[in-house]
Structure 1
Amino acid sequence: MNLDDLVFHPWAMQGPRDVPTLVGGSGSHVVDDGGRRYLDFGSQLVFTNLGHQHPRIVAAIREQADRLCTLAPGWASDVRGEAARLIVEVAPEGLGHVLFTSSGTEAIEHAVRMARLFTGRPKVLAAYRSYHGSTTTSIHLTGDPRRWASDTGAAGAVHFFGPFLYRSAFGSATQEEECERALAHLEQVILLEGPGTIAALVLESVTGSSGVIVPPPGYLRGLRELCDRHGIIYIADEVMAGFGRTGAWFGVDHAGVAPDLMAFAKGVNSGYVPLGGVLVSDAVYELFTTRPYPAGLTYSGHPLACAAAVGAISAMRDEDTIAAAARLGSEVLGPGLGELADRHRVVGDVRGIGGLWSLELVRDRVTREPLVPPGATGAATAPMAAVVKACLERGLLPLVLGNRLHVAPPLNIDDGDAAAGLAILDEVLSAADAHAA
């Protein structure tokens, strides 16, 4: 019996699967049950920011397990408090408290709940080409096709177009035009929806799995100003972008803005034990000093997860991971992926920052027709399935979503491994070129 067949798998048709069974790992590599090594070029789902089996994180988990494995959230915990302190220290100014969750999805749910309680308003704005999670509120806020099967139109979610020059909704020719027109569009959506009905705006600081879209200069500052003008809570979704992934502690740091609430997860502890959370501004925090916050989680601030966060953040500081991630993008991945785009006609666009990049694969560079259509399933996904298969055959774990090949290795990957991964992608894209005009 294949034990994997007993597992009900998320985001997949059920039934036998042809995937490696991974049983070990170290650094930027994982190992299957046959002893074969794979280069993890997507950090799993972009969360192993410090790679696999980092000794500082493993030791922190082990030491905490020897002291106290678990604790209900109502009791004070030294390791929970220390994790909160380290997170607040690297967060934007004014975010002084942490609600711990078990995931990014839960973090979005609670951030939205706080915003609605704070403002007394029902609606939440979110961008198309976004992903915020798969629970009820977060999947309604999600703007890409993963929302379609679950969207009832009843969660108060209102979508708008964010800036995306490659597929501009505004006919822009430059990043400056795209920024200006996207902000004007957003203002119109706010005015037409009724500012007094909008509790919050939630936005990935750098769009992650829906396309790796870096906002143009000035966009986040303009968005912050619109939220301030209309009394709207600005929720930054930093679940994927946070904790070094973009070459800064958080994606908003590149723009020098501070949100009212900030959702995080993934890189906070490299995903070694499930952990997420909401960083809460002083104003929102004060509301709940005079009334209880009407929600909770059994595993909020789980000691093993918080210990992993303490180990990870401490290691990132000592190892200068933020600078390493910035260099990874500017000197290794950015130039390397640009060269691949020059060589392969199937690559329509290269986008990214720090350790978060995407190759958008197209059938035609002129029309920009995606290699597979949005929301495709079954046989229509065959070209991208072939890309995955070719990567695995060459010892590379890829991260493929829609028509995009995402590149997000551990932030501490060495240059040799990064070059090896790019060389494999070069071979894979040579085969994929057959699908392009």
Structure 2
Amino acid sequence: MPIPADASGRTAYELDRAHVFHSWSAQKALDPIVIAGGEGSYLWDADGKRYLDFSSQLVYTNIGHQHPRVVAAIKAQADVLCTIAPAHANDRRSLAAKLIVDVAPEGMNKVFFTNGGAEAVENAIRMARLHTGRTKIMSAYRSYHGATATAIQVTGDPRRWPNEFAPAGTVHFFGPFLYRSVFHATTEQEECERALAHLEQTILFEGPATVAAIVLESVPGTSGIMPPPAGYLAGVRELCDRFGIVMICDEVMSGFGRTGSWFAVDHYGVTPDLITFAKGVNSGYVPMGGVVIHDDIAATFDERAYPGGLTYSGHPLAAAAAVETILAMHDEEVVANAARVGSEVLGPGLRELAERHPSIGDVRGLGVFWALELVADRETKEPLAPYGGASPAVNGVLAAARDAGLLLFNQYHRIHVVPPCNLSDDEAREGLAILDDALSVADAAVLRAEPVLVG
């Protein structure tokens, strides 16, 4: 990206490059866009160029940028009380908790607030270990659960590798993913049955009495947006019940309307013991996460002190943003909009792109939570970028889309189409049209049989 021509934008860019240490990045390679503002599904940079945000940033602006009701609620709360310690009761914190449990599965009536998703996972695991008196945590290889000490080791993707400083009692297994089945399945039913058999065998070999929890993203996000086959989450629930294991569903990315339901578990009729959340609970306007706790787990700590907490747990500004976000989502039927746009516009539109672009190997998703699997060869399913790496072809798609005014979420060889839950049909079609053009870069690489290189 060129350095902004705008003087204030240029200053922001220069100060960023001099002083900001960015996450998940080699610092010298960075060339960030200076974002100056946003509204709804759009952002604009320091020079006034507008972008349609099909990334929802890190998949969290579920009600778009600068929603006026949420901005007003944050301002109003700042006039009343900017902060208060978690030991006190506060009206916004209390109401936020009530609104969250109202949309959670039945029997989940308590909320422990954190500052973000990784801390939510950390505390859910701590609760499970204390509740069961066991240590081991099982999670899928294709997963991401956060970057804090335990959460990164529960994570399955390659970001775990350089962070495994000490064992955390974690065990990984393969979840269901028919497109790249490790179980040699040919149908969703076979994939479900074989994945559950594999999980049961892993539990038995690890020792059921040693396993405190199974942590699963209800619909895996960063690792590929892979909705589980019908019956899988119910099967995990049965295994957990049989062996006395706590079922933790990570809904940090998939929760609060992203899949076209309040929580992704709603699609599968399953009630976990713990749900972790963050991101969409207040569209990321003020950092907030948390754990929704089933009554059976909460009762463990009725007379026994829970040994955990955070200075900013249930921060009033974040809670005010969460209250107004959830109320606005109800009033504006945002969850229903996500479901409809996904089924009527995004899903059909992405499948139509797959018919015309040889670089697309698979399309999958729910609501406004979709992934395109880019491949060098549809027959062999060779990814267009290596696992854990990048490639010129995929980077070219991202650059072409960005130049045309579309921001996408990318992981390795996948393009994730994850716009705000309240985007319009016209905005969805606008994004699809830009993506259509950008994919010609990937198609050209496929037709040239360009080798995949680690970037």
State the TM-score, normalized to the length of structure 2.
0.94
Alignment deviations for residues 56-85 of structure 1 (CA, whole Å, 9 cap, x no partner)? 111111110110001111111111000000
CA distance in 2 between partners of 1:16 and 1:213 (Å): 31
Q: What's the counterpart of residue 430 of structure 1? A: 440
Q: Equivalences for 1:15-414 in 2 at 5 Å?
A: 15=28, 17-152=30-165, 154-376=167-389, 380-414=390-424
**Corresponding pairs, count:** 434
The 8 Å contact of residues 262 and 279 in structure 1, kept in 2 or not, is answered as yes
CA distance in 2 between partners of 1:395 and 1:108 (Å): 35
The 8 Å contact of residues 127 and 203 in structure 1, kept in 2 or not, is answered as yes
Per the alignment, in what secondary structure is the counterpart of residue 169 of structure 1? Answer: coil
CA distance in 2 between partners of 1:304 and 1:280 (Å): 23
CA distance in 1 between partners of 2:169 and 2:29 (Å): 38
Alignment deviations for residues 83-125 of structure 1 (CA, whole Å, 9 cap, x no partner)? 0000010001111100000000000000000000000101000
- Is the deviation greater in 144-153 or in 201-210? 144-153
The alpha-carbon deviation at position 148 of structure 1 amounts to 1.3
Letter in 2 for 1:4: D
CA distance in 2 between partners of 1:63 and 1:407 (Å): 34
The alpha-carbon deviation at position 388 of structure 1 amounts to 1.7
Task: Select the residue among 418, 423, 428 that pairs with 1:418.
Answer: 428
CA distance in 2 between partners of 1:375 and 1:335 (Å): 29
Unaligned runs of 5+ in 1: none
CA distance in 2 between partners of 1:4 and 1:341 (Å): 39
Alignment deviations for residues 155-200 of structure 1 (CA, whole Å, 9 cap, x no partner)? 1110011000000010000000000110111000011100000000
CA distance in 1 between partners of 2:83 and 2:393 (Å): 46
Letter in 2 for 1:107: A
CA distance in 1 between partners of 2:226 and 2:105 (Å): 21
State the TM-score, normalized to the length of structure 1.
0.98
The alpha-carbon deviation at position 18 of structure 1 amounts to 2.4
CA distance in 1 between partners of 2:128 and 2:409 (Å): 33
Letter in 2 for 1:282: D
The alpha-carbon deviation at position 149 of structure 1 amounts to 1.3
The 8 Å contact of residues 117 and 290 in structure 2, kept in 1 or not, is answered as yes
Aligned Cα root-mean-square deviation (Å): 0.9
CA distance in 2 between partners of 1:384 and 1:145 (Å): 18
Per the alignment, in what secondary structure is the counterpart of residue 416 of structure 2? Answer: strand
Q: What's the counterpart of residue 24 of structure 2? A: 11
Alignment deviations for residues 229-262 of structure 1 (CA, whole Å, 9 cap, x no partner)? 0000000000011001001110100111110011
The 8 Å contact of residues 140 and 153 in structure 1, kept in 2 or not, is answered as no
The alpha-carbon deviation at position 291 of structure 1 amounts to 1.2
Unaligned runs of 5+ in 2: 1-10, 448-455
Per the alignment, in what secondary structure is the counterpart of residue 49 of structure 1? Answer: coil
CA distance in 2 between partners of 1:386 and 1:141 (Å): 32
CA distance in 2 between partners of 1:43 and 1:265 (Å): 14
Identity of aligned residues (%): 62
The alpha-carbon deviation at position 16 of structure 1 amounts to 5.8
The alpha-carbon deviation at position 344 of structure 1 amounts to 0.5
Alignment deviations for residues 217-240 of structure 1 (CA, whole Å, 9 cap, x no partner)? 000111100000000000000001
The 8 Å contact of residues 396 and 441 in structure 2, kept in 1 or not, is answered as no
The 8 Å contact of residues 136 and 169 in structure 2, kept in 1 or not, is answered as yes
Per the alignment, in what secondary structure is the counterpart of residue 27 of structure 2? Answer: coil
CA distance in 2 between partners of 1:16 and 1:408 (Å): 25
The 8 Å contact of residues 101 and 300 in structure 1, kept in 2 or not, is answered as yes
The alpha-carbon deviation at position 42 of structure 1 amounts to 1.1
The alpha-carbon deviation at position 322 of structure 1 amounts to 1.3
The 8 Å contact of residues 268 and 275 in structure 1, kept in 2 or not, is answered as yes
Per the alignment, in what secondary structure is the counterpart of residue 367 of structure 1? Answer: coil
Per the alignment, in what secondary structure is the counterpart of residue 343 of structure 2? Answer: helix
